[in-house]
Amino acid sequence: MNGFNKVILAGNLTRDPELRYTPGGMAIAKFGLAINRKWKDSQSGEMKEDVTFVDIDAFGKQAETIGQYLKKGRPILIEGRLKLDQWDDKQTQQKRSRLGVVLESFNFLDGGNREGGDFSGGGGTSSAPSARPARPASSPPPNSSGEGMPPEEDDVPF
């Protein structure tokens, strides 16, 4: 059976995107997303809130667009896939892992005309170009040119 790996998240950036380039020239943007959840406790009746923090990796033109137009606090809607990173901790010699999201497409959630500050979301569109992929979701992955695909592990400059 084929699996299905799709994530849709809306939240605010926890930090400015970190934009770097591989030796081959591919852009990589790393940023954090905070997703707030509010609900009313059925026992006490009081409002509760929790926050989930997710690490996001973007590649290619989308990474450059994110690096150019987004800053800490800005709201964004992302679509992507889960990816498990595993490594050996050099200090403790223990195996470590991190579940993150590889961005496939995104939409700005505000007008893009605010600098810093609190962003509570909204439904406007940005003056920046849309970063939605040109291909439909059901089409096969991009050709072997590698645009928009994650680079090989040895090429990642982090």
> 90-123 pLDDT, tens per residue?
889 899 999 999 999 999 998 655 443 333 333 3
Q: CA of 53: how far to CAs of 15, 35, 98, 149, 154, in Å? A: 11, 6, 12, 24, 27
DSSP state of 92: T
Q: In this predicted structure, what is the pLDDT of residue 126?
A: 38
β-pair type (18-21, 95-108): unpaired
Cβ proximity of 43 and 65 under 8 Å: no
Higher-pLDDT residue of 2 and 143 is: 2
Higher-pLDDT residue of 147 and 37 is: 37
Q: What is the H or E stretch that residue 79 is in?
A: strand 75-88
Q: Which domains does the chain have, with CATH numbers?
A: 7-134 (2.40.50.140)
Taking the model in full, what pTM does it have? 0.67
Higher-pLDDT residue of 152 and 41 is: 41
Q: In which band, very low, low, confident or very high, does the pLDDT at 147 lie, cut at 50, 70 and 90? A: low
Residue 92 burial by Cβ neighbours in a 10 Å radius (0-12, 13-18, 19+):
exposed
